[in-house]
């Protein structure tokens, strides 16, 4: 269970729609590239129509402040099967990084620690309609900033496991040394958060790159009594792109 899992969902039935060309997509899609099971022809660069409109608003806000910058979309809609695949992948990668062998009974506690740490960033792949993973609703987006089509350094990779991914990770260093590299990274993170907030998005507490509008996490963060997006499926007639 997540802190937001108790928020009821009253589905508003907005459709999923492809992101418009004015929003930069980071391709090849990172999860499709490693074999995540989206299904034949499915397009992960989709969101609910209201969320797409808010993303365009956020990009407009960004370009009013910094005309050379644009939003760069890393990931958007993610079916539950892909969520399950990526949770397993993240656990396996973190085990490799830490040198933990899941099959070694002597490392059972270390393996549990890896699962717990990955769980701070990856939502359980729940099939329960009352607790859909945020990305499965079409309400959540992972994104960063780009300039002239090139992604900016934000001081930590998207999907990195650990404290470096927390939105304010560099805030203390930025206050003490505002002209440092850490100061640059924190200002970029803050700028992304600010323009997304103006457009009505809420940020995941552990991830500088994750924002949503209309899902349970959003409702919990902003105090809304209910979410408006449940798990979303692409109609079969529009699955191929």
Q: In terms of C-beta density within 10 A (0-12 exposed, 13-18 middle, 19 or more buried), how is residue 103 classed?
A: exposed
Question: DSSP characters for the chain?
Answer: --TTTTS-B----PPEEEPPTTSEE-SS-TTGGGT----TT--SSEEEHHHHHHHHHHHHHHHHH-TTEEEEEEE----HHHHHHHHHHHHHHHHHHHT--TT-GGGHHHHHHHHHHHHTTS------TTS--GGGGT-EEEEEEEETTEEPP-SS-TT--SGGGSTTTTHHHHHH-TTSHHHHHHHHHHHHHHHHHHTT-EE-TT-TTEEESSSHHHHHHHT-SSBS-------GGG---
Residues serving a catalytic function are: 207
Q: b/e map of 211-239 (b: 16 or more CB within 10 Å)?
A: bbbbbbbbbbbeeeeebbbbbbebeeeee
CA distance 155 to 178: 14
């Amino acid at each position: 269970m997540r802190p937001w899992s108790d928020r009821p969902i009253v589905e508003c039935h907005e459709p999923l729609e492809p992101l418009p060309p004015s929003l930069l997509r980071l391709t090849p899609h990172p999860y499709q590239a490693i074999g995540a099971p989206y299904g034949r022809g499915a397009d992960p660069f989709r969101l609910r129509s209201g969320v797409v409109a808010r993303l365009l608003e956020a990009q407009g806000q960004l370009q009013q402040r910094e005309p050379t910058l644009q939003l760069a979309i890393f990931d958007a809609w993610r079916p539950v099967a892909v969520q399950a695949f990526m949770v397993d992948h993240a656990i396996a990668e973190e085990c490799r990084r830490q040198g933990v062998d899941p099959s070694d009974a002597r490392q059972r506690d270390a393996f549990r620690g890896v699962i717990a740490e990955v769980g701070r960033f990856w939502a359980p792949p729940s099939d329960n309609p009352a607790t859909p993973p945020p990305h499965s609703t079409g309400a959540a987006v992972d994104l960063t900033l780009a300039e002239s089509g090139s992604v900016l350094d934000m001081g930590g990779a998207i999907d990195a496991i650990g404290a470096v991914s927390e939105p304010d990770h560099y805030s203390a260093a930025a206050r003490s040394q505002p002209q440092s590299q850490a100061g640059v990274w924190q200002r970029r993170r803050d700028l992304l958060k600010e323009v997304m907030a103006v457009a009505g998005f809420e940020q995941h507490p552990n991830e500088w790159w994750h924002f949503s509008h209309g899902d349970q996490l959003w409702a919990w963060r902003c105090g809304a009594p209910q979410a408006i997006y449940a798990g979303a499926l692409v109609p079969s007639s529009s699955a191929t792109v």
